Amino acid sequence: MNVGAGKRFRSPRAILFDLDGTLIDSAPDIAAAVNELLAGRDLPPLSVGQVKAMIGGGVMKLVERAFAASGSPLAGSALEEANRDMAPIYRRHLTGLTRLMPGVRETLTHFHLNGTAMGVVTNKPQLATREILLHFHLTEYLGAIVGGDAVTKLKPAPDALLLALDQLHVEPHEALMVGDSISDVGAARATGMPVALLRGGYTQVPVEELGADLVCDSLLDLPAALQRLQAAA
């Protein structure tokens, strides 16, 4: 556990979680979808590791990065067409290879029993997000589910976080953002929330270098880490 210097934590009334790389390891499914799209254009497949490095910023950004990596970059109407082709493919690859990240169910149960409101804020499309959460029986813990197409601007803009907090009836200073990438940090800062990052997610930059208030090895460490910080404060 690493703690940002001088940061003061209160017991959050609400916690907002990112999805990919935070609650779920979806990279294998996303890679399968990307490779199906590329195969339809006679382009070679990408590895799971390559695709994992492309996650973040929404589906269109993923498509753009994938074609660039394949040596056939797209822009404008060609990118929009590929993004439209990706939509049904993406929906076929949501839960087949996806798994929960370590400690998800135990941690959500802990905060649920403590009366903490919870939500998910992600750049993944809303219907796909809800289908995944239903598949893993996580919706019962969540008072807000906000996908990327439910707002005008994706993370790191604050729009999704503010919408989720409004649905939970919680002010930003009463909440905590938990994610795995710089977009989660940026969104939290723009919202006025503290932010915790998890190791092992989908970032190419070490989480210790992203400016979070708290860094944990996994979600299993989060409850105890928050308790220690609150006691110290």
214's enclosing H/E stretch is: strand 214-216
Peptide bond into 156 cis (omega under 30): yes
Measuring CA to CA, which residue among 149, 204, 158, 160 is closest to residue 182? 204
Which amino acid, 140?
Answer: E
Q: What is the DSSP letter of 20?
A: B
The whole-angstrom separation of Cα 52 and Cα 56 is 9
Question: From the candidates 18, 184, 213, 221, which is the catalytic residue?
Answer: 18
Q: What is the DSSP letter of 202?
A: S
Query: Please, what is the end-to-end C-alpha distance for the chain in angstroms?
Result: 16
180 given a catalytic annotation: no
Give the start-end residues of each E strand in 62-213. Answer: 99-100, 117-121, 144-146, 175-179, 195-198
Can you say how many angstroms the Cα of residue 216 is from the centroid of all Cα atoms in its chain? 16
Positions marked catalytic: 18
